[in-house]
């Protein structure tokens, strides 16, 4: 079975593999990413870098610093922070892009740091966007970024891969934004949570690079860790266009890099037609799509534009900005709405504020040359500097109490763009512009149309509307990864453990039978910023908001088992370390928040996914809080678990010795073993520096 695209790129950038090892989903591997981007959080990474004893950046070409989040903040404190980051970049020879030059993700693509068939990471969740140009982009946490600066490496557990096969072509009036808004809202049951997505099919090939970037960007909101499009003629033409724009001497976009890429694409095309393994197969017919909006206040709610338009929802603010939809084609789409309005009606609706910001300075320059930027200014749009701004609730133009906004950004969580009592919708640039012009959520077709005729047509649309065509199929695990009641695992490459890492673990399963056990339940927010709490006290606090009796029940060598999406919520590291201090050496969950898993392993706490085991625990012990089932929040199950770490084999027995079942866990690869043995990533980095 040939590797899928995600596995192939991960293998290309993996280091320390065993001879002949093939990287597969489930593997824990060490990665040497081509580039690692940090933005305003570079200051926090600098502090982490210094605290682990590092004094020099191992490979100055690898990091990229882009200041983009709080660029409107001219306070002395923020100015000093930005200056310190700039000085650090100069000292270590790191590429630096200052405030106002553009959003980091856009710069990564424009300047070729996110290059097709390469791997780039960022300390930001929207690094998925790099997949629009066929680059495997995935997020890391700040400790990972500091480790990359110091050692050039980080670790990754290769996620399950979902194949999203796009059929057809986009109908008139639809855009890449409509594609991903529909995917997020119509498939909103965590179908791709913690998966990497590989887009395929004629529909994918029909999308422009800008449309692909938009779709890939918001695979984050769909729950994925990456969303990668194929490298095809559209991608190669994009690279050629960047070479023409930047000149042949550019360090990343140049004739040699294009030639190398073409050869790699040809090599991929000549390989066997044998099908790769995918955890899920999703089919989506673009031809059946209509314009959609997200919200209000949730990307998991997607509503056809025609339905919302029929409700005459008045708006107060409109936004054309962010790394999702503020490229030249997006600005042109918005400008064309105003150009197409009747003479004398080409202005922003009275009482509506329309904010625009380019994804980068280069984008604004192109939009100005095309005349699109001036059209929007003439219409009354309010320009903001290239940066994140209102998308993350910073700077001018935030939503106030009771206001309604429509935005071309990627997130509309309650309170993200301002007041928690406001309502935020997400839409394509054309719909945002039409809404700004008409003062209500509106279709571009409504601009300049006779109201009576248009509403009659709208009524007909509503009567004939049907949902887009899609399907989801879950694949069987490869034969080599199944064993009796198996948890899907293809990580069978490494069958040994390193010195200091246990070959096996035996312990009783303690079950916290609930899904979505968040970090506040594990470690209360009231203690998060009390930096003087000692480990023994942190241990007593563990699980306090979930079950105050937890710490009195836990014993040495116990294995904590819990439901799906364990560790969701904030990125507080104490939610991992408090359990480690309480004596928990291992967590088994139906699924794990990726951020929680990274924080846990980075601090020396092993976490593995065991969905079949969790389902069996639910079937036997019920769910926490359902008193009618006699379930407790925390249960000492009496089930003894015997795990062989080198092979992933897990045998579970009842107290009387009878077998519950045999399961297969992801094999803990060398990259994760090293972190557990030394006590976490910071200690591992210090060890590497000493060597």
Query: With contact defined as beta carbons under 8 Å apart, do 405 and 295 qualify?
Result: no
| Euclidean distance between CA atoms 421 and 427, whole angstroms | 20
pLDDT score for 140? 93
Q: Encode 219-235: b = buried (16+ Cβ within 10 Å), e = exposed.
A: bbbbbbbbbbbbbeebb
The SS3 assignment for 443 reads coil
Give Cα separations from 600 to 121, 205, 550, 582 (angstroms). Answer: 19, 39, 19, 14
Would you say the C-alpha torsion 282, 285, 286, 290 has a positive or negative sign?
A: negative
Residue 636 contacts by C-beta under 8 Å, 6 or more apart in sequence?
A: 508, 510, 553
| Euclidean distance between CA atoms 367 and 363, whole angstroms | 6
pLDDT score for 272? 67
pLDDT score for 478? 60
Query: With contact defined as beta carbons under 8 Å apart, do 320 and 408 qualify?
Result: yes
Nearest to 239 by CA among 216, 218, 220, 256: 256
| Euclidean distance between CA atoms 331 and 368, whole angstroms | 10
Say if strands 382-383 and 353-356 run parallel, antiparallel, or are unpaired. parallel
DSSP structural state of residue 666: P
pLDDT score for 528? 82
The pair of structure tokens assigned to 217 is 């960007």
Q: Encode 67-96: b = buried (16+ Cβ within 10 Å), e = exposed.
A: bbbbbbeeeeebeebbeebbebbeebebbb
Omega into 657 within 30° of 0, i.e. cis? no
Nearest to 550 by CA among 593, 583, 528, 504: 583
pLDDT score for 455? 86
The SS3 assignment for 390 reads helix
Nearest to 142 by CA among 69, 216, 277, 36: 36
| Euclidean distance between CA atoms 493 and 499, whole angstroms | 18
Phi, psi dihedrals of residue 18, rounded to the nearest 5°: -70, 155
Phi, psi dihedrals of residue 186, rounded to the nearest 5°: -90, -30
pLDDT score for 625? 67
Phi, psi dihedrals of residue 246, rounded to the nearest 5°: -95, -15
Query: With contact defined as beta carbons under 8 Å apart, do 551 and 634 qualify?
Result: no
Query: With contact defined as beta carbons under 8 Å apart, do 523 and 574 qualify?
Result: yes
Residue 402 contacts by C-beta under 8 Å, 6 or more apart in sequence?
A: 419, 421, 422
pLDDT score for 164? 98
Nearest to 432 by CA among 455, 394, 405: 405
Helix, strand, coil proportions of the chain in percent (round to 5)?
A: 35, 20, 45
pLDDT score for 358? 98
Q: Whose structure tokens read 């009231």? A: 526
pLDDT score for 499? 92
Q: Three-class SS string for 16-57?
A: CCCCCCCCCCCCEEEECCCEEEECCCHHHHHHHHHHCCCCCC
The SS3 assignment for 516 reads coil
The pair of structure tokens assigned to 165 is 């096969």
Q: Whose structure tokens read 């897990």? A: 650
| Euclidean distance between CA atoms 61 and 92, whole angstroms | 10
Residue 42 contacts by C-beta under 8 Å, 6 or more apart in sequence?
A: 65, 67, 85, 88
In which residue ranges of the chain is pLDDT below 50?
Answer: 479-495, 627-630
Phi, psi dihedrals of residue 147, rounded to the nearest 5°: -65, -40
Give tens-digit pLDDT for 536-592.
Answer: 999 999 999 999 999 999 999 999 999 999 999 878 889 999 999 999 999 999 999
pTM above 0.75, yes or no: yes
Segments of 499-552 assigned E as strands: 504-512
């Amino acid at each position: 079975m040939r590797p899928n695209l995600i596995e192939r790129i991960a293998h290309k950038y993996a280091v320390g593999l065993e001879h002949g090892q093939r990287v597969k989903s489930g593997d824990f591997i060490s990665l040497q990413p081509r580039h690692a981007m940090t933005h305003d959080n570079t200051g926090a990474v600098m502090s982490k870098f210094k605290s682990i004893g590092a004094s020099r950046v191992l490979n100055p070409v690898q990091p990229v610093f882009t200041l983009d989040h709080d660029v409107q903040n001219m306070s002395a404190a923020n100015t000093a922070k930005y200056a310190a980051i700039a000085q650090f970049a100069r000292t270590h020879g790191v590429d630096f892009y200052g405030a106002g030059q553009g959003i980091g993700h856009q710069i990564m693509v424009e300047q070729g740091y996110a290059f097709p068939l390469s791997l780039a990471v960022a300390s930001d969740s929207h690094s998925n966007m790099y997949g629009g140009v066929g680059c495997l982009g995935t997020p890391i946490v700040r400790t990972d970024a500091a480790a990359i600066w110091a050692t050039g490496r980080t670790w990754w557990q290769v996620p399950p891969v979902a194949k999203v096969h796009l059929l057809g072509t986009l109908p008139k009036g639809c855009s890449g934004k409509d594609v991903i808004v529909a995917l997020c809202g119509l498939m909103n049951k965590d179908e791709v949570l913690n998966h990497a997505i590989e887009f395929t099919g004629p529909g994918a090939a029909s999308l422009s690079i800008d449309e692909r970037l938009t779709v890939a960007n918001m695979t984050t909101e769909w729950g994925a860790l990456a969303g990668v499009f194929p490298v095809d003629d559209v991608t190669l033409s994009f690279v050629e266009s960047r070479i023409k724009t930047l000149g042949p001497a550019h360090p990343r976009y140049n004739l040699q890099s294009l030639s190398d890429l073409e050869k790699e694409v040809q090599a991929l095309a000549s390989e066997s037609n044998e099908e790769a393994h995918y955890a899920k197969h999703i089919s989506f017919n673009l031809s059946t799509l209509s314009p959609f909006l997200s919200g209000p206040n949730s990307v998991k709610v997607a509503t056809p534009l025609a339905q919302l338009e029929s409700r005459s929802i008045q708006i107060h603010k409109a936004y054309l900005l962010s790394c999702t939809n503020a490229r030249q084609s997006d600005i042109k789409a918005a400008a064309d709405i105003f150009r197409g309005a009747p003479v004398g009606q080409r202005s922003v609706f009275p009482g509506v504020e329309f904010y625009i910001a380019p994804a980068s300075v280069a984008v604004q320059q192109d939009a100005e040359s095309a005349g699109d930027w001036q059209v929007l200014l003439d219409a009354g749009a309010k320009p903001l500097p290239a940066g994140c701004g209102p998308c993350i609730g910073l700077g001018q133009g935030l939503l106030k109490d009771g206001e309604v906004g429509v935005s071309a950004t990627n997130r509309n969580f309650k309170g993200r763009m301002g007041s928690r009592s406001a309502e935020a919708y997400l839409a394509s640039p054309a719909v945002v512009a039409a809404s700004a012009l008409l003062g209500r959520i509106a279709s571009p077709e409504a601009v300049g149309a006779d109201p009576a005729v248009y509403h009659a047509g709208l009524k007909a649309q509503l009567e004939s509307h049907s949902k887009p065509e899609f399907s989801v199929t879950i694949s069987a695990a490869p034969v080599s990864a199944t064993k009796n009641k198996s948890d899907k695992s293809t990580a069978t490459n490494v069958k040994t453990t390193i010195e200091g890492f246990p070959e096996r673990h035996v312990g009783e399963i303690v079950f916290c039978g609930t899904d979505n056990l968040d970090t506040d339940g594990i470690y209360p927010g009231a203690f998060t910023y009390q930096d003087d709490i000692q480990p023994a006290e942190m241990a007593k606090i563990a699980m306090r908001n979930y079950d105050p009796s937890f710490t009195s029940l836990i014993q040495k060598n116990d294995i904590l088992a819990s439901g799906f999406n364990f560790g969701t919520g904030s990125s507080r590291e104490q939610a991992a370390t408090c359990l480690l201090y309480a004596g928990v050496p291992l967590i088994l969950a139906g699924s794990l928040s990726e951020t929680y898993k990274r924080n846990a392993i980075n601090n020396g706490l092993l976490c593995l996914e065991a969905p079949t085991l969790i389902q069996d625990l639910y079937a036997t012990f019920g769910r926490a809080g359902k008193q009618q089932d006699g379930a407790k929040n925390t249960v000492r199950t009496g089930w003894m678990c015997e795990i062989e770490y080198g092979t992933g084999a897990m045998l579970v027995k009842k107290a009387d010795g009878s077998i519950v079942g045999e399961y297969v866990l992801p094999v803990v690869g060398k990259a994760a073993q090293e972190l557990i043995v030394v006590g976490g990533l910071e200690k591992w980095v210090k060890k590497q520096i000493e060597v």
